[in-house]
Amino acid sequence: MPPTSTDVPYGTLDLMVLTTVATMGRLHGYGIARRIEQVAAGALALNQGTIYPALLRLEQNGWIKGTWGMSERNRRARFYTITAPGRKQLTAATKNWARTVDVLSRLLNQDA
């Protein structure tokens, strides 16, 4: 069964969140989700049941840090920034993902 636009490829959400926070700086969960969707250009959709467990997991691993603040709509929100261990994880995960993509590309293009 082909993935739908709401399916996030397994193992990629942490990388997407870390990349977004590293690139964009301090963002709340809703902003992180919307930025990922914007960059994905309709290829995926993130909901609260997807993004917030990932943020909690990343924070528990020490890869991001959350602090409370006020959103642009004057609502209390948790804002996230990447930590030094998070930057190390981002580098490692990016290299691992690049290797995976390279292997899959070679496998898929065997007949070419």
pTM here? 0.86
Three-state DSSP at 90 gives helix
- Of the pLDDT bands very low, low, confident and very high (cuts 50, 70, 90), residue 94 is very high
Please name the residue that has the structure tokens 């209390």. Answer: 76
Domain ranges of the chain: 13-108
Reported as type and span, the H/E element at residue 77 is strand 76-82
Share of the chain above pLDDT 70, in %: 92
Structure tokens at 4: 């739908």
pLDDT tens digits, one per residue of 46-90: 888 889 999 999 999 999 999 999 998 999 999 999 999 999 999
Is the pLDDT at 1 greater than 60? The verdict is: no
Mean pLDDT on 37-43: 91
Q: What is the dotted CATH code of the domain comprising 13-108?
A: 1.10.10.10
Instruction: Tell me how far CA of residue 1 lies from CA of 7, 49, 103, 105, in angstroms.
Output: 12, 22, 22, 21
